[in-house]
Amino acid sequence: MNNLSAQPNLSLYDVLVIGGGINGVGIAMDAAGRGLKVALCEMQDLGGATSSSSSKLIHGGLRYLEYYEFGLVQKALHERERLLTNAPHIMWPLRFRLPHQSHLRPAWLIRLGLFFYDNLAPHTHLAGSRSVRFTKQSPLQAQFIKGFEYSDGWVDDARLVILCAKAAQQQGAAILPRQRCVKAERQQQTWLITLEHTITGERTQLRSKTLVNATGPWASQIFENVLPDLTTPQQLRLVKGSHIVVPRLHDGDEAYLLQNKDGRIVFVLPFHQQFSLIGTTDVDYEGDASHAAISEQEIAYLCRVVNGYFKRSISAHDIVWTYAGVRPLIAGSKGSAQQASRDYHLELDAPSGQAPLLSIFGGKLTTYRLLAEQATTRLARFFPQAGPTWTHHAVLPGGHFSTHTQLNQALAQDYPWLSAPLRQRYVQSYGTLCHQFLASAQNLADLGRHFGAGLYQAEVDYLVAQEWAHTTDDILWRRTKLGLVINPAQTAALSAYLASMDLKHFST
């Protein structure tokens, strides 16, 4: 590779963010919106690791109250309310039922926890908690007679990452997926950063006045590989959370929170009409976070917990999809993985006269916006021209509508030839962004080739051109969840179509 460090025409940014997970794109969005020149690089697909492998919940963390994490729960509940307002297409309220087992947690303790959950932060979108009794029509086994209900929120985590990246781009940020940062060198008041395209191998360089390490599970490791002259200020405890998806266990719209005798809890969530999402586990993890996968022991554990509650039993043979994500928790906490704090820590390294480095350790999906705001405020001290905080009321792309029902009705009027299931998927995935690939169509045929499961060429072209999609996994498992229902032949046809496109143009 040619030595580009002496070239005076290298792009110069105010902020370079390494890591395209939810924290990275949140910081890029916030910083760009304050008037800073921002670039973000990601070695894989945006949200391709931890940020697309969550339990898909925007929640305060009811169980964290047991570990006295009142501060974390409170700020998460505040953020839950904001996010339900700012992204109504990909987030919506979800009612949870908690069957009571007195030998696991006494009723008074659960009532106390729910009281705090209802009152630690104001809420307008969600109903409060209450006691319930289960009838013979309940999907639960007959011994479960009473329990509790409370509210939290559902989120399409992978699409949340994409929409934040789009918002950052709309504010002027350069979004660079599949660009691995292989080296970052301090050269007095700027960083010289070397990126390597993970498909072509091509290397490029750019400069930045500040650097943000938002690499999630790799936040400590990056000091060895990319910043060899520095030592990590924090070590991480990596905890793997695994999930399974099975055919729908019950007909209702509610979710279930199941207690287990080991102190852990398991969610059973309605998932894309036909399925139930079950998780999560908390297992300490060693190794490359990119290779995390569910184990046979975890599958058996999740099935065993579910079969202790539901009338309909499940086994490994019922599983249609599994995924696992590695959560980067701050090291130092003793005890079980589920007791480790989900809070975050921001570490600023800014020696006098040298370019600053901000590293993000820990965090959870629900608090990404607050984390990004605090991180950007730390950086803003180096940029007197930076504007004020602004994301508190920032509606994400596609979210400017009142209700799902209203938008669905508007689509039915504008595009009467769309089927009801297709309209509903567009509403919950794209919101008003779906007009970008529907506007010129007069009928279904105008959407182009049908790859199967309601996936048309117009949507694929949009995802490639506007949302950085590159592979079938990007489209079928992150931009959508159509991988659950599409067949292998249809997947192969989509792969061939993508191979025929000039994707390099869209991926940088």
**Residue 4 resides in a domain:** no
243 lies in the same domain as 230: no
Q: Are residues 361 and 466 in the same domain?
A: no
Q: Are residues 177 and 287 in the same domain?
A: no
465 in a structural domain: yes
CA dihedral 328, 331, 333, 334 (to 10 degrees): 100
Number of Cβ atoms within 10 Å of the Cβ of 77? 24
Give residue 332's pLDDT: 66
**Phi-psi category of 149—alpha, beta or left, where left has phi over 0 and alpha has psi -120 to 50?**
beta
Residues 209 and 116 placed together within one structural domain of the fold:
no
- Please count the CA atoms within 13 angstroms of the CA of 439 that sit on its side-chain side: 6
What pLDDT, on the 0 to 100 scale, is given for residue 66? Answer: 76
Identify the pLDDT of residue 61. Answer: 82
CATH code assigned at 456 = 1.10.8.870
pLDDT reading at 182 higher than 70: yes
Find out whether 28 and 375 touch, Cβ atoms under 8 Å.
no
pLDDT at 40: 98
For the chain, the domain total comes to 3
Task: Let me know if residue 372 belongs to a domain.
Answer: yes
Confidence of residue 341 (pLDDT cuts 50, 70, 90): low
The answer on 451 and 466 residing in a single domain is yes
For residue 1, tell me if it sits in a domain.
no
| Whether residue 507 has pLDDT greater than 50 | no
* 251 and 319, same domain (yes or no): yes
194: pLDDT confidence band, cut at 50, 70 and 90?
Answer: very high
Q: What whole-number distance in Å separates Cα of residue 149 and Cα of residue 164? A: 32
Q: Let me know if residue 72 belongs to a domain.
A: no
pLDDT band (50, 70, 90) for residue 340? low
Q: Is the pLDDT of residue 231 over 50?
A: yes
Average pLDDT value for the chain: 93
In terms of domains, do 452 and 408 share one? yes
Range of the domain at 386: 12-49+159-235+342-393
pLDDT for position 228 = 86
pLDDT confidence bin for 39, thresholds 50/70/90: very high
CATH, residue 313? 3.30.9.10
Is residue 302 one of the residues assigned to a domain? yes
Residue 293 lies in a domain: yes
With cut-offs at 50, 70 and 90, classify the pLDDT of residue 339: low
CA dist., res. 21 & res. 50, Å (int):
7
Cβ atoms of residues 333 and 347 within 8 Å: no
Q: Is the pLDDT of residue 387 over 90?
A: yes
* Residue 91 and residue 153 in contact, taking contact as beta carbons nearer than 8 Å: yes
Q: What is the pLDDT of residue 123?
A: 78
Lowest mean pLDDT among 111-115, 194-198, 450-454: 111-115
216: alpha, beta or left, given left = phi > 0 and alpha = psi -120 to 50? left
Average the pLDDT over each of 309-323, 416-430, 445-459, 494-508 and give the range with the smallest value.
494-508
* Residue 346 CB neighbours (<10 A): 16
- Show which of 280, 301, 330 is a domain's final residue: 330
Q: When comparing pLDDT for 338 and 343, which is higher?
A: 343
Which pLDDT value is given to residue 64? 78
Least confident of 252-266, 336-350, 390-404: 336-350
- Are residues 325 and 49 in contact, defined by beta-carbon separation less than 8 angstroms? yes
pLDDT band at 437 (very low <50, low <70, confident <90, very high): very high
Residue spans of beta strands (DSSP E) within 331-457? 344-349, 357-362, 450-452, 455-456
188 and 213 inside one domain = yes
Task: Please give the sequence-ordered ranges of beta strands (E in DSSP) within 156-213, or none if there are none.
Answer: 174-177, 179-187, 190-197, 203-213
Domain match, 377 and 418 both: no
Position 73 pLDDT exceeds 70? yes
**pLDDT of residue 278 exceeding 70:** yes
Q: How far apart are alpha carbons 481 and 429 in whole angstroms? A: 10
Nearest CA among 148, 212, 199, 192 for reference residue 17: 212
Q: Which of 96-105, 349-358, 374-383 has the lowest mean pLDDT?
A: 96-105
Q: What is the DSSP letter of 478?
A: I
Q: Predicted confidence band at 2 (pLDDT cuts at 50, 70, 90)?
A: very low
191: domain CATH number? 3.50.50.60
Looking at the structure, tell me whether residues 136 and 253 fall in a common domain: yes
- Are 382 and 354 contained in the same domain? yes
Confidence band, pLDDT 50/70/90 cuts, at residue 1: very low
The more confidently predicted of residues 5 and 81 is 81
Please count the other Cβ atoms lying within 10 Å of the Cβ belonging to residue 412: 13
Mean per-residue pLDDT, 147-169: 97
pLDDT higher than 80, residue 67: no
Q: What is the mean pLDDT of residues 264-286?
A: 95
Segment among 88-97, 170-179, 228-237 with least mean pLDDT: 228-237
435 found inside a domain:
yes
Report the distance separating Cα 236 and Cα 140, nearest Å.
39
pLDDT for position 204: 96
Q: Is the pLDDT of residue 338 over 70?
A: no
Same structural domain for residues 196 and 166? yes
β-partners of residue 331 are none
Q: Are 240 and 329 in contact (CB under 8 A)?
A: no
Of 297, 330, 363, the one marking the end of a domain is 330
